Amino acid sequence: MALVIEKKALLDLIQKSYPIVPAKSSLQILSNLQLSLEDGTVEIMATDLDHSIRVFSKVESEDSFEVTVNAKKLFEVVRELHDGPLKIVVDENVVTIESGGSFVCKIAGADAHDFPAFPVLEEKKNFEVPLTVLKDLVQKSSFAVSRDESRACLCGVLWESDQDSTGMVATDGHRLGSCFYQDVINVESKLSGIVSPKSLLHLVRIANAENPDTVIHVSMGVKYVLFSDENFTLCSKLIEGPYPDYDKVIPKNNPKTAVVDRSLMQEAVRRVSVLSNQKTHLVKFSFSHNGLEIAVLNRDIGGEARQQVPIEWSGEEEHVVGFNALYLSEILSIIGTDKVRMEMNTQISACLLFPVYEEERQGCRELFLIMPLRIMEER
């Protein structure tokens, strides 16, 4: 049972599946990749039980086999080989790799029957999403996913879809990112699920971004969501909810508005925050008709820094508020427009950020939120 495949093609399959392999696991078999060949298609599968992926490629072979082999060793061996055709022979769970007529490597594998089966979805709802839309949704929400595993639902991205729109929201209680598109998918009824950011980020990495017309097929079930195109199938276990009502934390009355050049403010925040507290990363923002002053006073190191940034301010009076510089910089890096609109009310209420488009953008709603930090009075 032999297979001849180009090194580049095999390495591409391994690189797409390898990130799903868990770094540590009590089940030794999960450290392996499952290799299979049938009907002229070579397939590699990886799983950590919560995320599973199958990647495949057409080859010229009438043989068939199924085996699992250590993922790390297979990746390291194939990566070091010269470009060109590789011959892979499987004999009683021993994988032999031959390259260039001078290199031979044997790796002991394991029976593929011991490898977990790929999940099967029941009661699923199928729809399609353009890859460009999916990447935008993931980028503008996944950054705000919580790292606190005690609140599992906040460790995922809430994906909501209905007949009119589809969108993703994530929050960790300190910041929030959301993006919704209208009229891009076709579903008969409302559906939602909390999706792992590991699957979403890996999906946008491996999908074919070279083709602007790439469409991802989605199947959402009760426990799993499945993404697929002609080259891969990625399945992710949905995180159990319910997700908190994020709409309640979005303030509706924000009389103080500032429009500012995004790059100027981002550069100023990065520059000034060098002297900020290493735990809180607190930076003070003073908004007025004279402009925006971004400042840091760090008594621990005896340092201070401040910079002026021009703004369009619609508030009646000066507004002083503190933000986490890292959180704000991350949001500004995700917003893709030249200008940003900030809407605020009090020193303790959430600040909303919106991209300002030169031309009105139809069919897409983006909203970012950051909670303020308390500013200790100077003594």
Q: For each of the chain's 379 residues, which pLDDT tens digit applies?
A: 788 999 999 999 999 999 999 988 889 999 999 999 998 999 999 999 999 999 999 988 888 899 999 999 999 999 999 999 999 999 988 999 999 888 999 999 999 999 999 999 888 889 999 999 999 999 999 999 999 888 899 999 999 998 889 999 999 999 999 999 998 888 888 899 999 999 999 999 998 766 778 899 999 999 999 999 989 999 999 999 899 999 999 999 999 999 999 999 999 999 999 999 889 999 999 999 999 999 998 888 878 999 999 999 997 789 999 999 999 999 999 998 999 999 999 999 999 999 999 877 778 899 999 999 998 644 3
Domain spanning 125-245: which superfamily? DNA Polymerase III, subunit A, domain 2 (3.10.150.10)
Tell me which amino acid residue 100 is: G
Report in angstroms the alpha-carbon separations of 15 from 22, 136, 200.
14, 23, 16
**pLDDT value at position 378?**
43
**pLDDT value at position 379?**
34
Q: CA 309 to CA 90: how far, in whole Å?
A: 65
Residues 6+ apart with CB under 8 A from 259: 311, 312, 339, 340, 341, 342, 356
- Quick check: 143 and 171 in contact, CB under 8 A? no
Virtual torsion, Cα 337, 342, 343, 348, nearest 10 deg: 140
Q: CA 224 to CA 290: how far, in whole Å?
A: 53
Q: Where in the chain is the domain with CATH 3.10.150.10?
A: 2-114, 125-245, 250-370
Residues 6+ apart with CB under 8 A from 315: 255, 256, 257, 258, 287, 288, 344
- Report residue 113 as tokens: 């029957």
Q: CA 1 to CA 196: how far, in whole Å?
A: 38
- Protein fold of 2-114: DNA Polymerase III; Chain A, domain 2 (3.10.150)
Q: How many CA atoms lie within 13 A of 316 on its CB side?
A: 4
**pLDDT value at position 209?**
66
User: 331-357, pLDDT tens digit by residue?
Assistant: 999 998 999 999 999 999 999 999 999
Judging by beta carbons within 10 Å of its beta carbon (0-12, 13-18, 19+), is residue 362 exposed, middle or buried? exposed
Whether the link from the prior residue into 116 is cis, omega within 30° of 0, is no
Q: CA 291 to CA 312: how far, in whole Å?
A: 8
Q: CA 275 to CA 297: how far, in whole Å?
A: 8
Judging by beta carbons within 10 Å of its beta carbon (0-12, 13-18, 19+), is residue 120 exposed, middle or buried? exposed
Q: Considering only CA atoms, which of 105, 102, 40 is closest in space to residue 69?
A: 105
**pLDDT value at position 164?**
85
Domain spanning 250-370: which superfamily? DNA Polymerase III, subunit A, domain 2 (3.10.150.10)
Question: What is the pTM for the complete model shown?
Answer: 0.91
Tell me which amino acid residue 294 is: I
